[in-house]
Structure 1
Amino acid sequence: MTFHSMWAELLPIGRSSASGGYRRFAWTGADTDCRAWFRQQAESRGLTCELDRNGNQWAWLGDPAAGDAVVTGSHLDSVPDGGAFDGPLGVVSSFAALDELRSRGARFTKPLAIVNFGDEEGARFGLACVGSRLAAGQLTVEQAHRLT
C-alpha cells in the first residue's frame, strides 16, 4: 500500500463536516475506526498486532521477547478540530518506511514495532500522552483510572 493510499483511507475518519477539522478523540467511534485501520495495515504486512494493557497498539516484525527492539510510530487520536496529519503522520510514515526498507531488501536483526499510542492528545480526559506515559511508567494505572 502506498503512502497516498494509506492517507486516502484515513482522511475521512473523524472529519467534522461543520469545521473541516478532525475529532478523533480517544475511545470513541472514530478512534475505533482508526484502530481497525491500524490493525489492517499491520496484518496486510504480515506483522503481529497486539494491544497492551494500556490500550496501545503494537505491530511487530520479529519477536518482541528477543529484546533490544526498534520502535517507531505515533498516535491516531486528535485534538478538537485538529489537522489530518497530527499524530497519524508518524504512524503512516512508519508503515511507509517499513515498506520502503523491505522493497530495498533490508534485513532486520532486531525486532521492529510500529506503535499507535492511545489517548496521546488528551482531548477526552485533560491529560496528554496517556498511552506513552503509561508505557514509560510515568503514569500509574490507578492515576489513569481517575481521569474523567
Structure 2
Amino acid sequence: MDIITSHPRIVKMKKNDITLYISTFPLETEDDFLEKLKETFDVEEACDGKNMAECFAIIYGGIVISKNSIFKRIELEGYFKESDKGIEFEINRFLENPYNCYTFDNGTICFIKNKEKDSRFVDNVGLRFIIK
C-alpha cells in the first residue's frame, strides 16, 4: 500500500498576542509532520511539538486565528497578498469583513476575492491523502 500525502504551507502573521495561520499553496509533500503521520496514522502524535493552532491549519486548511490557547478557524474564498498600507488588525473587524488590508507586527497583507498579480490562494482543504 502506497500513501501519498500533502498539506498546505502555512503563512504566519502576528499582531501582539494574536496569530493568523493562513493555509496556502504550494503544498508540502515531505516534512516531519507527514512522515510521522504515515508511520503512525496518529494525528495527535504527528502534531507533537507543533503549536496546536498551526497543526489545525495544516489539517483543516483555511485561516486559523489564535489567541493564547484559544483558536477559531474560518474559510475564506479568495486570495491574499503583501501590501504597503492597511488598517490595524483586530479580530472582530476581520470577522465582520475579512476582505481588507491589515497590518501585523511582521507585515501587511490584503485579503481579496479575485486573483491579482503576486496573490496567493487561501487553501480551505488542508491535509490530503491518496492511498493506492
More strand by share: 2
Bin of the TM-score, shorter chain as denominator length: under 0.3
More helix by share: 1
- TM-score using structure 2 length: 0.28
- TM-score using structure 1 length: 0.26
